[in-house]
Amino acid sequence: MSGDSPVEPTSADLADEIGEVVRFDVVGHGDGVRVMHVVGEIDTLTAPVLRDRVYEQLADVSLLVLDLTDVTFLGSAGLAVLVAAKDEAEQRQCRLRLVPGSRIVTRALEATGLLALFEIADGVPQALEASR
């Protein structure tokens, strides 16, 4: 034995791991409107990735719809990212609208008293219709 120590994971390893837990699909819907569909778990590991992806989109939209219908877990780190994203959207003078879409997400927002902070839509079509 040569005293090998455990190998630290690389950013590629973490990206692979995150890729198995969460996925982001972004679709444009006309001038300055995008829908980001989030699939998977938003926890301590994936929340920073969600933050980065949301901030990237907020940089050049007037409305970002976050479709959380297929989120299977929303932890406190994910909730913090949503609140920070709302603040970032307001600073950039754009709108952030959430589509909770599942009891998991709705319950997390309700239990923490955060539901009332956001523009909420029952589905993506309703979120987009409200923007017209």
Domain ranges of the chain: 23-129
Q: Tens digit of pLDDT for each residue in 75-124?
A: 999 999 999 999 999 999 999 999 999 999 999 999 999 999 999 999 99
pTM for the full predicted model? 0.83
* Architecture (CATH level 2) of domain 23-129: 2-Layer Sandwich (3.30)
Question: Using an 8 Å Cβ cutoff, are 108 and 76 in contact?
Answer: no
73 pLDDT more than 50: yes
C-alpha 49/C-alpha 52 separation (Å) is 5
Single out the residue of 46, 98, 54 nearest to residue 73, CA to CA. Answer: 46
Six-digit token string for 22: 């969460």
